[in-house]
Structure 1
Amino acid sequence: MNIQVDMKHIANYVMNHAKNYPNEVYWANVVDRPSERVYLKTYSYGPDYTPATVWKTSAQVDTDGSPINYPPPHDPNTSLMYGDQAVNAETIPYIVLPKNNKNNVMLGDIGIVIDTTTGKSVYVIYADKGPAGKIGEASIAMHAALGFQYKTSSGKFIGHDDLDLVYIMFPGSGSKCGYGYGKPIPTAAQIANCAIPYFNALKKTTSHSS
């Protein structure tokens, strides 16, 4: 099977077979669809793993952690820090969760984001908290990895408004890989190395289904 087609299948299978978290629903972070709701779900994929937390939405650009002095609401810091070192939005593919999220994904946990339109994917880390009640932000590096045009010719960030991104996060993975608040910031390659065993275990549960 074509790798990108396979990734689309995995993302759609997981979303179709996941169960809703109680009271875990947020507004999509899309200006022209302010009433769009996003439901966080749980997907069990093996006796040795905590069920994955999954959802499907868009992705606006989060510049936090970048050393470049972007216009507000840019913040040179991120919620995940190592001393005075933030997670650089330019180089690290990270995602954002609402500051009032109630699921078991913690800062430093890793996962994967899959574009169900193209089949492209990128391994990510949860590194920043966003506004309460709204979901759908990710770093510049995540947008770049998925091939999105995230900035206009004038330099304005435009994000990705299509609700076609499946986020699959692995609760507890950060602590097992040595990531978390006050711990060294991993590189994109280290994030991928940590996430691959989790994703491979999840993938096995989808391999015999259409």
Structure 2
Amino acid sequence: PSFGFLFDIDGVLVRGRTPIPAARAAFRKLVNPQGQFLVPVVFVTNAGDCLRQKKAEQLSHLLGVPISQDQVMMSHSPLRMFKRYHEKCVLVSGQGPLLDIAQDLGFCQPITIDTLREKRPLLDAVDHDRRPNVLRSQEQLFSLSTVVLFGEPVRWETSLQLIIDVLLTSGYPGNPYGQESYPHLPVLACNMDLMWVAEAQSPR
């Protein structure tokens, strides 16, 4: 065939974990009796909270047709091309298996917000119940050279505070803020959507 299809996922084929009824019927017309697609099909999504293989398995289950990871383009997929950052120590923020996602994309030294918080517990002061009761010597930490935002975090206040610390200390969180330098460390934001469609009647 001389054409193919690019399908958005959320709000187009599924709402949250519920497939749109017409989508399953439509996809049955796109495959032959052996379950093979009759034309090239690729799925694109702003989601960044899982590996491509996991998303392919979810789609296969929801739509009732076999889908491979090579047919899935996640919001973080283009980071495979950002090879100049792959050997550097990067801070990753979002949800899901962050280290697995980062390493699958080629990053060799990813550090999560939770790991940074463990190494620099005094930086996270909003939630009084999570403040350390006993001060301990701070662990040695490699300088961070880049911030990677895979998607929205759960604890916004912690993520925002620690990311600000990384940017205002040029990669040495825990140090005093220095003079603001511009440009600051690179921030690679995979998904800048502030609204999306799920099962609720109104966008989230």
Q: TM-score, normalised by structure 1?
A: 0.24
The structure with the larger Rg is 2
Q: Which has the higher contact order (CA 8 A, sep 6+)?
A: 1
Q: TM-score, normalised by structure 2?
A: 0.25
As a proportion of its length, which structure holds more strand? Answer: 1
